[in-house]
Each structure stands twice: as structure tokens, then as C-alpha cells.
Structure 1
Amino acid sequence: MTSSSSSRAADELHFRTHDGESLFYRHWPASGPARRGAVVLFHRGHEHGARMAHLVDELDLPDFDFFAWDARGHGRSPGQRGYSPSFAHSVRDVQTFIEHIGTQHSIEEQDIHVVAQSVGAVLVSTWAHDYAPKVRGLTLASPAFKVKLYVPFARSGLALMHKLRGLFFVNSYVKAKFLTHDPERIASYDSDPLITRPIAVNILLDLYEAAERVVQDANAIVLPTQLLVSGADWVVHHKPQHAFFERLGSRVKEKIELPGFFHDTLGERDRAPAVQSVRAFILKLFDTPPEPVDLREADKAGATADESRALAEPLAPLSPRGAYWAFTRAGLKLGGKLSRGIALGHETGFDSGSTLDYVYRNEAAGAPLVGRLIDRTYLDSIGWRGIRQRKLHVEELLREAMERLAAAQREVRVMDIAAGHGRYVLDAVAASPVKAQSILLRDYSDINVRDGQHLIAERGLQDRAQFVQADAFDRVSLASVMPRPTLAVVSGLYELFPDNEMVRRSLAGVGDAVEDGGWLVYTGQPWHPQLEMIARALTSHRQGQAWVMRRRTQAEMDQLVEEAGFRKVAQRVDEWGIFTVSLAQRVER
């Protein structure tokens, strides 16, 4: 099997990314009498969409549209060759491409199956983890979860050089004859002027980090998934692929091992049986759509529930880990005598509104020199950097919702059910060209209410804004808010409570309150690299108790919001995959 193109004619098109790039893609319309769905192809690193065009014929699915992009910095798409601002940028490009297919080609997300190879398969896996799309399924061919770097300590060396030198590029060492046994594919790879041999060092390093996160937390992916493993792969390691498959949260999953196959799995010489397996998997999902995995009771059983319970278990004081965390807590106590931020965390809780407002301001304070240096290190921890990015994303989606309401000639009536000090809401309102008719900030803490009222007064918003003490989990109280809000926001609240019943009660109240066609901005925390440190060393606002969090996967959070009567239309996530912010619309009752 040597064909490298399709007998179907392709339309050559472009779509616009969130940051203004115009990426190239090909579209092969269905040739059958009625379109059943679409297959979207994502190429491996260094390549471009045309090198997957042969699958359009080989999969023999005439009733399906096919799409294949050229990733930014590859093929006919613009940008420095092999470069993207970050791996997260490219993951968001995947989301934008799928949204574009929906709006421009009238194909529902649930009617799309994704086929991805190598680096493309890592992009798609990360997208499935972080954005929780509702596509029909995934086929991942030899995902590059761990690239074989044959030079000892290559990864740590590249990271050090990146810090010292900044951006530079690493050329691929892999020869075409180690990618496939197909002579035509080998020759075309060597002669193709659009092959991109260099890869930016930031993308290579980001690839490793994203892959490790996704493999470790593959339980969060619940989409039907097919994994193809090349048995004689010179480019990537097998072990993470098998670990990923075992941890997948998918109810429908299939692993096919292909002895003797090189890395270009779907471009191998004897690929026909593998391609037929992909075809059979796609047709099975479209012939008999599987029931989605119900995650609304994931707080009772599952990976994140087990993780949270383990973190809540006390450690033996004389054990190595017990001693380590006792030493860490002692260090934080000492740090609190010098650092204002750490002291505030001890006083009010590291998850309190006061702490978050301090983190938002991002101004190191404390004892001269040493204290401020400690405070700066504290404020620059990855969790707090993620919190500040979350604030920016909340403000961005609040402004977007306000503009959508204005476009529909509707009043903007804002309600934040647990506002902390309310800084992000007031900042968003101030930055929007759309005027909010009313702003209602609510919080359970009298300290937050007091300080939030001061912020309102400072900004001269007393005529439109008020701050009241109220319970975010009281459905009746939320449902009775007048005037009824057209835009609700809940930021950083549900992440603090592991119990889904509480969250469902709160969201039901929000759903009762928000007018049909109104909007909800909500946050999530599907991942955090410092969960154990937080649980073992930091205290919460609840009377000095340990701050033990249960992560909610994005799919779980979205299901809870959907149950309350909302439909997600947009999402943002920070570059580390820690905090998400989503925008959902209240469906008509």
C-alpha cells in the first residue's frame, strides 16, 4: 500500500486562530448520498496534513467529510518553522479548528471522529483532557508521550540551555527509513519541501510536560478511544502508551499492537489491517453510539475521590514523608514571620478571599530584603501564577458575555455568588464598553463583604453595585435574587468543596435565577501539580483545617453545569492545564 493522496478533490481553506493566525487546512466533502459525520486528521510532528491525505480513500468512508490541518509553523500554515508560542497555544488551535468545522461546515461536535498521529496524538490527548470535547471518539496512532532522546540527560540539558540561551531549534535526527518501510513514503519524506525538520525547544519541552500530565491523569478522558501501538518504534517509548491506555476513563477503548511497525503507523507499508481496524472502530461508534460516562457522582468513587481521600489521611509522624511535611510546615511558619503573603494565609486561610485578593495584587511585601524575597517566591509559585491567569480568563469571558447580551439588546445584570473581594468582577465591568445595569456581589465571609464594599466605594459604583452576605449553596436564596441576573459567575468556589451534592444544589439555584438565554461564567481545576503540598502544608479558611482538594475533571464539571440547564460555548485554560474558565448559556425552559 503506497498511495499518498486521495482521489477525492480537496478544498483548500483557512481558519482564524484566537491570536489572529490564519491556519491552512484541507476539506474533502463526503461523496456519498448523505453525510453521516466527519473525520478530522492531525499529522505527526515535522509533517503536514497532505501526508495523511491517503487515509481519505483508504478508510473508505464515502459518507464522511474529511479534514486535515497544517499545524502552525508546519506545511502551508504561517509562522516560524517548527515553532508555536507554547504547546498550550497549539492545543487551543485544535479547539478552535473543531469549533470552526462546526460553524463553517455545519457539523456537530458529536458527529466528529478524530484520528491523530505522534505529536498530533499528544495534542489531541491534551485537548481531550483539558477541554472535555464531546466528539464521537479518538484514534491515537503511536502518540509521542515520550520521545526517545538518545543523548544522556538530553531533556535536562535542553531545559538548562533554554533558560540560558532563550529560544533555539533542535533538528530531527530521525531518517525516513526509520519511520516507515514504505519506499514511496520514504522517498516523498526526503523530497517534500514542506517537511519541517526543526522543532522549537520550548515546544519539545512543553511536549514532555503535557504528555506526562495526560498519561498520569488519563482517567479524565472518557471519550471512546482507540490506541495503535507500533511494535518497532524507533522514535517514541511504548511504556507511557500502555500506561495511558490502562488509566483511560473511557468505557469504550481498544488497543491494537502492530508488531514490526515503525513510527509512521498509518503510513506503514503493510498498514491495510491497521487502517481497516480504524475504519471498523469509527463505524461501530456511529452505528451504535455508546452512552457517555456519567461523572456526576465522581465524588463518591473514582480516581479523584480516591486521590482526595488519600491526601486526607494523616501520615505517621516518624515516617520519612511525615517528617518531611512536618519540616515543610515548620518552614512555612517561619516564613510567615517574614512574608506578608504567607502570614495572611496563616491568618485567614490559604484559600480565603483575602489571600486570593493578595495574590491578584501580586505585590511582594514583608520584612525588608529577605521577607520580600520570600514573598516574591511565594507569589511566583505555579499555583498562584495559575490563579492570576484564571482571573484574566474570568474577566475575558465576563466581558464576552456582556457583549453578547448587548448584541441581543438585553440588560447586563451581574451576580457573583461567592465573590471574595469582588476584584475580578469590578475589573471586568470597568474594562468593558458595555454598561452593567446592576452588580450583585455575594459572599459568606463578613470579612470579604466588608472589604468588597470598600472596593465598590473606591470605584464609585454604589449606584449600581452592592455586596451582601449570603450562602452560595442555598438554592432558595439564589433563586429568589431580584432583579433576575442575566450573567452569573462562580469563580474558585466549587474547587474548595469535594461534595458534588453541594455543587449541584448551588448550580440548581443559579440555574433557577438566571434568565433564559443568560450566561454563566464558571471555573474548574482539573489538575494541580502541588496537590500534596497544599494538603499537607497549607490550611484552609475553615478554622485552620488542612486544605485538601478534590480535583474535578473538566468533563465532570461540565456535566454538573449542563444538569443545571446550561450549555457550554467557550473555554479557556492556562498553559499548565491547572485552572479552566468556561462560558455557558442558560437554555430555554
Structure 2
Amino acid sequence: MDAVFVEHTTTFKTHDGETLFYRRWQPNCPTDRAVVLLHRGHEHSGRVSHLVHELGLEGFSFYAWDARGHGQSTGARGDSPSFAASVRDLDCFITHLCVTYNLSPQNIAVVAQSVGAVIAAAWVHDYAPAIRCMALASPAFDINLYVPFARGGLQVLHALKGNFFVNSYVRPAMLTHDKARAASYANDPLIARAISVRQLLGLYRAADRVVSDANAIQVPTQLLISGSDFVVRRPAQIKFFERLGTLEKEMHILPGFYHDTLGEQDRQQALEKIRGFIRLQFARHSARPSLLEADQMGATKSEAEALSMPLPAQSPQGLFWRGIRAGLAIGAKLSDGLKLGVRTGFDSGSTLDYVYQNRPSGISMLGRYIDQQYLNAIGWRGIRQRKQHIQELLGLAMQRLDNRGIAIHILDIAAGHGRYILEGLTSSDIRPVSVLLRDYSDLNVQKGTLLIEQNGLHDIATFAKGDAFDPQSLRAIKERPSLVIVSGLYELFGDNTMVDTSLSALASLMAPGSYLIYTGQPWHPQLEFIARALTSHRDGRPWVMRRRTQAELDQLVVQAGFSKIEQRIDEWGIFTVSIAQRSDANHVES
């Protein structure tokens, strides 16, 4: 007997207050298992509603949203503040479903198509959710624009005139052989036929990043490729599959299928594969491979080792990077930011404080221009966004502690100059009982103490010298913190034993229910430039970083005794800021 589903429609508020519409289908028997359906670009949840019955998955509830700017959701049609905002929308949607319907991420499967599949892949890559599995149909990793140099042209026009919209060239008959479905697409008033260039370029950038770094994805993944797809190119899909980090992956090429894989005339071929994959994943014990030894073996370890190897001095690459370093040395004579980086290290607390202030300075107009270009580097833009995210989650944690009547004692174990936290405190209506900032550097302690005075926080805040990786030193802290911040520290050290030691010491210091704010750097577009051209605060050595994927970092946090609650990431996918709660068997927030 076929399952009977009852459809309901409702809305939820996403991270910036926009109201997103979604449908849910409950089976006639209660279940804690769910499938989340993500529609193609231009479309809406009504276009995937047929899958609820056609997938033949009894014992599952189904949920499908209208993405921001689509269908009955709010937002400008075909637009979003950024592609990253759309990815965060999905994170908010899943969180909403878990809280509202008492679901667990481990019991959620995602089925997504085209642009929706890229959103899903970026979400899994960036946020490392513990969902059971995902099935991606014709992911739009590389849209075929047909016009030569179209992407580059759109980038130039976007830089010159700002955001604007382009209409899709895709005709209904190019999507599916199913004439009824093609006709319904042509006549559907909720189809958003235009897409903003901002969203389109963001889609391309996110797709490039996720495909190149798919090794970070540990969620079991099924990939369905339409064999006669006129809309997206296949090579990027193949590359994504080959690089996927999960061992539980399968790929199927469907001959003759057009782009609308799950709406094709013979779509049962695709649906049978999805049905089998989801049933198989739910029949297995849900467990992710341990990444706790990723510092000893694996892709990011090999990547860091390759960047650590000196280049032959007379090789083309060696000469190239020697020239880059020479250019930076010349620039440091004019640019104050470059000069500071050369003197203290480009990863030092002094350099970060300079980047936070973002005020170009140097000798002459040329020096200030060089400094402006330096401060506009994508990594430094990401650092400033990270500061905003830390301050946002700092405010969130203090509000939650205040609501629960818990005294707010803040500890930052590697604060640099402490500007990000001190400015966050001065802008908050909630005043902590105490704030202890620590750092290993005497200079940072001196500068941070001065900032405390300048921000008028000397009555509650102190700055002390301390080693963030010395458990004895951490456990000797007298005031038990209810909120701990670790910012920009663990990213600098690839050794997981060091990070685990630090986190374990913090966990022993913190009461159940207290909060940990921690940062990560799962990806960076300039790793080689940093390693070959910039120096670290550690004895002026090359600044070589081992990337730690979000999944790896979260596993270290969980192992130490914390439960992750929320996460932020910049629009370029470089820096993450997460908040976790010290685990308590009786209570952990959703």
C-alpha cells in the first residue's frame, strides 16, 4: 500500500529576517526520518512536489523550500545578498526543521538539483553538517553560457555598473522530454526567469571552490549526471566526484537525459537510484570517518608538505617567487602595513590589529596606494568579516548567558591586541562580570592593556601573558569562564595534538552549559602566495599553513567535550566562526 502524505505550507524567518516559504509532507505514520528537497534555479518547491510520491520512500517526511527570491518566498526575484547568504539560508532551514519537528541531522537526507545541488554541496563543504546523505542531480558547477568569454564579461560589467539581471536562455524543451512538464514550466507564473549577476558570479565562485576542495566533504554522496545536458558542463561534475572525500559515493550517468534530471520523461531511472541510495544509507549505522589524525595523513597534510618544500633557486617557479618577495621588500619601504608584516610576521597580533583598523598608511601617495591594495587582499577582507562574526556570536553568547542568569566571565586565550573582543564589548548592552585576555607575546600584552584603557574597560578587563597550549597554565586560571574565545590560533598550527591539548584543558576549566567561540580556516585561495612570499611571527620562517577542514575542526571540538550550535562563514568561504556549548548529558541547546 502506498504511503499517504498530507501537505502543509508554512514559513520561517531566515538569518536576516527574510520570510521563506516551504512545504512539508507528513506520512500517515509518525517518523523521525526526513528528506529535504531543493529545487533548480528559477523554480520553486511546487516543481519538486511530485518527488514526494514518486520516490516511493515510505517512513519519511518531506520538506521543500522556495529559495530566497523564488516562488512564494520574499526577496528580489532571482537575487540574494550573496551566494553565501543562500547557503546560510539552507543552514537556517535545516536548523528550523530540526527544532520545529524534532528532527536530528543524522536522520536527514538531501535531494537537490542544479543550482540547489550547488547550494547543498557548498553547505556540506562549509558547515560540515552531520546529515545522513545527499543526492545531487545535474549540479550546476559549470553553467554553459555558450557566448565566448561570457563569464569574464559579466565580471567586468558587474565591477563597472554593480548588480544587474540577465534572463535565462534556457527554453522549456531544453530541460526535459516530458512535454507536460515543459509546458507547465513555460506557463508557471512563479518561475523567476531572471537571475542577478551577483548571484550568478557567486554561484560560479562557490562551485569552483567546492569542486577543487571536494575532498573536504565526508557526507555520503550520490551524483546523477544527465547524459544530454545542454545547460551545464560535465567535466566539473566528474572532477567533483573524483575528489569527493567520502568513501561512500556513487555516480550515475543517465543517457539522453536533459538538465531537469528529476523531471525527465524517464525519471524513474533516476528516482530508483536515489531511492536505493537513501535506503542503503539509512540501513547502515550513521558514522563519519575520524579526521583526528588528518594532520598525519591525507590531502591537507600533503598540501602543506608540498608548500614547505623549497623550490630550486634557478627554476622558473623559484625565480618567480624570488621576484615576488623582492617586490614585497620594496613595497615595505613605502607601505606601513607591509613594513609591519615584515617586522613582526604577517600572522602576528600586530599585523591583525593593523588589518582590523583598515586605515591605509605609508610614505607618499604611492605608499598609501600600495597599503590600500595590501589591505584589500581577499584574506584580509575575510579577516575583517571574521571579526564581525566573532562580535556577532559574542553578543549571542552573552545574551544567552544573561537570559539564563549565569554570570558572564570571558576568557580569550590568544587575544593578540584584543581589539575584536574589546570593541564588541563596548558596543554591547550586556556587561560581563570579568574579562581575561591572554597572549604569549609581551608586545601584545602591552598593546592590549592600552586598548583596555582606551575602551574604558579597565574595571572588568585585564590582560596577562599566557600560553594557549600549556594545559597547566590554562587550568591555573582562577575565575572559571562561562564564555571562552579562541580566535585565529588553531589555524596557525597544523598539529592536532596541540589543538586537542588546548581544547581539553579549556573543557576541564568550563562548566557544562558554558560557551566556546572558535575560528577555523577550511580553505584559502592564496595558500601558495602566503607560503612562498610571507613570513610568520615564529622566527621569520615562511608562513606555511595546513588547512583544517571544518569537519576535522568540529571533530576536535566534539572530542574535547563540546557540542557545536551555530556557525558563520564569510562570502569567500575562507574563515569560519563557530559557537559550541560545553556538553552536558542533561541539556545541550539546539
Q: Would you say same fold, with TM above 0.5? A: yes
Q: 2:5 aligns to what SS in structure 1? A: coil
Shift of residue 462 of structure 1? 2.3
Q: Which of the numbers 481, 499, 503 marks the counterpart of 1:503?
A: 499
Aligned partner of 1:171: which letter? N
Q: 1:13 aligns to what SS in structure 2? A: strand
Deviations 1:283-339 (A, max 9, x none): 111111342111111111111111100000000111111111000000000000000
1:127 maps to 2:127: no
Q: 1:199 aligns to what SS in structure 2? A: strand
Q: Which residue of 2 aligns with 1:339?
A: 335
Q: Which residue of 1 aligns with 2:33?
A: 37
Structure 2, unaligned runs of 5 or more: 586-590
Q: Which of the numbers 445, 464, 489 marks the counterpart of 2:460?
A: 464
Q: Distance in 1 between matches of 2:154 and 2:570?
A: 23
Q: Distance in 1 between matches of 2:456 and 2:167?
A: 57
Aligned partner of 1:545: which letter? R
Aligned partner of 2:468: which letter? A
Q: Distance in 1 between matches of 2:451 and 2:163?
A: 42
1:299 maps to 2:295: yes
Aligned partner of 1:365: which letter? S
Q: Distance in 1 between matches of 2:265 and 2:4?
A: 19
> Is residue 138–residue 223 contact of structure 1 (8 Å, CA) maintained in 2?
yes
Q: Distance in 2 between matches of 1:13 and 1:345?
A: 52
> Is residue 106–residue 286 contact of structure 2 (8 Å, CA) maintained in 1?
no
Deviations 1:235-265 (A, max 9, x none): 0001111110111011211111111111100
Q: Which residue of 2 aligns with 1:528?
A: 524
1:479 maps to 2:475: yes
> Is residue 294–residue 300 contact of structure 2 (8 Å, CA) maintained in 1?
yes
Q: Distance in 1 between matches of 2:366 and 2:202?
A: 32
Q: Which residue of 1 aligns with 2:22?
A: 25
Shift of residue 34 of structure 1? 3.5
Structure 1, unaligned runs of 5 or more: 1-5
Q: 1:29 aligns to what SS in structure 2? A: strand
> Is residue 170–residue 231 contact of structure 2 (8 Å, CA) maintained in 1?
yes
Aligned partner of 1:145: which letter? F
1:540 maps to 2:536: yes
Q: Which residue of 2 aligns with 1:12?
A: 9
- Residues 75-86 of structure 1 mapped to structure 2, 5 A cutoff: 75-86=71-82
1:231 maps to 2:227: yes
Shift of residue 24 of structure 1? 0.5
Q: Distance in 2 between matches of 1:379 and 1:513?
A: 37
Q: Distance in 2 between matches of 1:11 and 1:363?
A: 53
Q: Which residue of 2 aligns with 1:432?
A: 428
Shift of residue 273 of structure 1? 2.1
> Is residue 418–residue 442 contact of structure 1 (8 Å, CA) maintained in 2?
yes
Q: 2:6 aligns to what SS in structure 1? A: coil
> Is residue 251–residue 293 contact of structure 1 (8 Å, CA) maintained in 2?
no
Aligned partner of 2:550: which letter? Q
TM-score between both structures, scaled by the size of structure 1: 0.98
Deviations 1:114-158 (A, max 9, x none): 000000000000000100011111100010000001111100111
- Residues 372-391 of structure 1 mapped to structure 2, 5 A cutoff: 372-391=368-387
Aligned partner of 2:60: which letter? F
- Residues 255-270 of structure 1 mapped to structure 2, 5 A cutoff: 255-270=251-266
Q: Give the root-mean-square deviation of aligned CA atoms.
A: 1.1
Q: Distance in 2 between matches of 1:461 and 1:173?
A: 58
Aligned partner of 2:122: which letter? T
Q: Distance in 2 between matches of 1:463 and 1:51?
A: 59
Q: Which residue of 2 aligns with 1:50?
A: 46
> Is residue 4–residue 27 contact of structure 2 (8 Å, CA) maintained in 1?
no
Q: Distance in 2 between matches of 1:163 and 1:468?
A: 46
Deviations 1:507-542 (A, max 9, x none): 111111111110000000001001000000000001
Aligned partner of 2:460: which letter? R
Aligned partner of 2:26: which letter? P
Q: Distance in 2 between matches of 1:475 and 1:588?
A: 22
Aligned partner of 2:300: which letter? T
Shift of residue 460 of structure 1? 2.9
Q: Which residue of 1 aligns with 2:191?
A: 195
Shift of residue 161 of structure 1? 1.1
Q: Which of the numbers 271, 275, 282 marks the counterpart of 2:271?
A: 275
Q: Which of the numbers 447, 450, 455 marks the counterpart of 1:451?
A: 447
Q: Which residue of 2 aligns with 1:286?
A: 282
Q: Distance in 2 between matches of 1:287 and 1:476?
A: 45
Q: Which residue of 2 aligns with 1:549?
A: 545
Q: Distance in 1 between matches of 2:246 and 2:429?
A: 44
Shift of residue 190 of structure 1? 1.0
Shift of residue 178 of structure 1? 1.1
Shift of residue 428 of structure 1? 1.6
Q: Which residue of 2 aligns with 1:242?
A: 238
Q: Which residue of 2 aligns with 1:3?
A: none
Q: Distance in 2 between matches of 1:166 and 1:459?
A: 37
> Is residue 6–residue 27 contact of structure 2 (8 Å, CA) maintained in 1?
no
Q: Which residue of 1 aligns with 2:308?
A: 312
Deviations 1:147-204 (A, max 9, x none): 0011111001111111122221111111111111111111111111111111101111
> Is residue 438–residue 464 contact of structure 1 (8 Å, CA) maintained in 2?
yes
Deviations 1:483-506 (A, max 9, x none): 100000000001101111111111
Q: Which of the numbers 564, 568, 587 marks the counterpart of 1:568?
A: 564
Shift of residue 7 of structure 1? 6.9
Q: 1:243 aligns to what SS in structure 2? A: helix
Aligned partner of 1:29: which letter? Q
> Is residue 34–residue 61 contact of structure 2 (8 Å, CA) maintained in 1?
yes
Q: Distance in 1 between matches of 2:311 and 2:51?
A: 54
Q: Distance in 2 between matches of 1:553 and 1:171?
A: 36
Q: Distance in 2 between matches of 1:479 and 1:524?
A: 24
Q: Percent identity?
A: 57
Q: Which residue of 1 aligns with 2:111?
A: 115
Q: 2:173 aligns to what SS in structure 1? A: helix
Q: Which residue of 1 aligns with 2:216?
A: 220
Shift of residue 459 of structure 1? 2.4
Q: 1:10 aligns to what SS in structure 2? A: strand
Aligned partner of 2:278: which letter? I
1:173 maps to 2:163: no
1:183 maps to 2:175: no
Aligned partner of 2:533: which letter? A
1:392 maps to 2:388: yes
Q: 2:580 aligns to what SS in structure 1? A: strand
Deviates more, 1:250-259 or 1:221-230: 250-259
Q: Distance in 1 between matches of 2:67 and 2:341?
A: 43
Q: Which residue of 1 aligns with 2:588?
A: none
Q: Distance in 2 between matches of 1:251 and 1:512?
A: 35
> Is residue 138–residue 224 contact of structure 2 (8 Å, CA) maintained in 1?
yes
Q: Which of the numbers 59, 66, 89 marks the counterpart of 2:62?
A: 66
Q: 1:240 aligns to what SS in structure 2? A: helix
> Is residue 456–residue 466 contact of structure 1 (8 Å, CA) maintained in 2?
yes
Q: Distance in 2 between matches of 1:339 and 1:392?
A: 26
Q: Distance in 2 between matches of 1:191 and 1:298?
A: 52
Q: Distance in 2 between matches of 1:262 and 1:7?
A: 30
> Is residue 426–residue 455 contact of structure 2 (8 Å, CA) maintained in 1?
no
Q: 1:187 aligns to what SS in structure 2? A: helix
Q: 2:484 aligns to what SS in structure 1? A: strand
